[in-house]
């Protein structure tokens, strides 16, 4: 059900009552916004704490150039933990990223145990290194634009990410990034 129906529609047979549906949707929405803030502040472990044990993460993009649905990054929760643990070993662009996320739709399943969402995001890169930090630092640039397709498990009023598909519109990615988006 979309946000509209979640507010107004009567419960489906065997479904949630509107108050429960609203509560579940709120929990889901909060999880998405909390994830945005934690990713922005590079609190990777706290971000992963919002995710289920079976969490799967993907960065994908459709390429009209090669006519192929591409996967730029794929990882289980365990893969992401390793990736995050090894970040200090890698040489990474220091420019922080911040995301502007807007949750478009929240569909809570009839049993109230899972949910699916679609959110739009824009990621800005706030240049620190830039090309020449003397000139470029302090400038903000559009880095990525796309949509999050998230799924959740809802338990005791808490929403845990079970998957995140980050779908990019831009395929000119220049230096790219070592960080989850």
Partner 1 sequence: MPARNHTQWMATPPLQKGEWVDSRVYTDQEIFDEELEKIFKKAWVPVCHESELPKAYDFRTTSIANEPIIVTRGPDNEVRAFLNVCPHRGMLIERRPSGSFYEGQPSGNPKRMTCMFHAWQFDMKGNCVYISREKEGYQDRLPKENVGLRRLRCEVKFGGFVWVNLDDNPISLEDWAGEPFQCLRKTLEAEPMEVFHYHKAIVDTNYKLWHDTNCEFYHDFMHYHNRVTGFNDAYFARKNESFEHGHIVVGTFEVNYDQYEGFESRAGLSFPHLPPNQWYMIDLFPGMNFNLRGSALRCDVVTPLGPNKVMIEFRGLGLKSDTPEERQTRINHHNSIWGPFGRNLHEDLIGVQGQGTTMRPGQEPRRILHGRQENQTIHDENGMRHYYDEWGKWMNRSPSNPELPYSAPAIAAE
- Cα separation, 44 vs 46, in Å, equals 5
**Residues 32 and 19 sit within 8 Å (Cβ to Cβ):** no
Among 11, 33, 68, 104, binds partner 1 (CB under 8 A): 68
59 Ramachandran zone, left/alpha/beta (phi>0; psi -120 to 50)? beta
Choosing from 26, 72, 149, 153, the residue that interacts with partner 1 (CB under 8 A) is 72
**Torsions phi, psi for 96 (to 5 deg):** -65, 155
Q: Which is nearer to partner 1, 115 or 130 (CB)?
A: 130
Task: State the nearest-atom distance from the C-beta of 67 to partner 1, in Å.
Answer: 6
Piece of the chain touching partner 1 by CB under 8 A; list 7-15, 17-25, 32-40, 89-97: 89-97
Q: Assess 41 for contact with partner 1 (CB under 8 A).
A: no
Mode of pairing for the β-strands spanning 97-108 and 114-126:
antiparallel
| Site size with partner 1, rule: CB under 8 A | 38
Distance CA 140, CA 130 (A): 10
Residues forming contacts to partner 1 in the complex (CB under 8 A) are: 59, 61, 63-68, 70-75, 78-79, 82-83, 85-86, 89-93, 129, 131-132, 171-179, 181
């Amino acid at each position: 059900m979309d946000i509209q129906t979640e507010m107004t529609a009567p419960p489906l047979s065997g479904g949630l009552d509107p108050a429960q549906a609203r509560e579940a949707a709120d929990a889901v929405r909060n999880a998405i916004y909390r994830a945005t803030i934690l990713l922005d502040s590079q609190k990777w472990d706290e971000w992963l704490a919002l995710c289920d044990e079976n969490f799967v993460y993907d960065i994908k993009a459709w390429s009209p150039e090669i006519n192929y649905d591409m996967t730029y990054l794929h990882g289980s929760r365990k893969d992401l933990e390793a990736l995050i643990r090894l970040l200090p070993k890698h040489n990474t662009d220091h420019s922080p990223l911040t995301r502007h996320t807007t949750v478009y739709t929240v569909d809570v399943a009839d049993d109230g145990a899972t949910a699916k969402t679609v959110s739009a995001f824009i990621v800005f890169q706030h240049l620190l290194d830039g090309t020449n930090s003397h000139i470029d630092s302090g400038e903000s640039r559009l880095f990525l634009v796309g949509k999050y397709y998230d799924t959740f498990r809802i338990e005791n009023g808490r929403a845990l990410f079970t998957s995140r598909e980050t779908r990019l519109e831009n395929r000119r990615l220049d230096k790219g990034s070592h960080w989850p988006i």
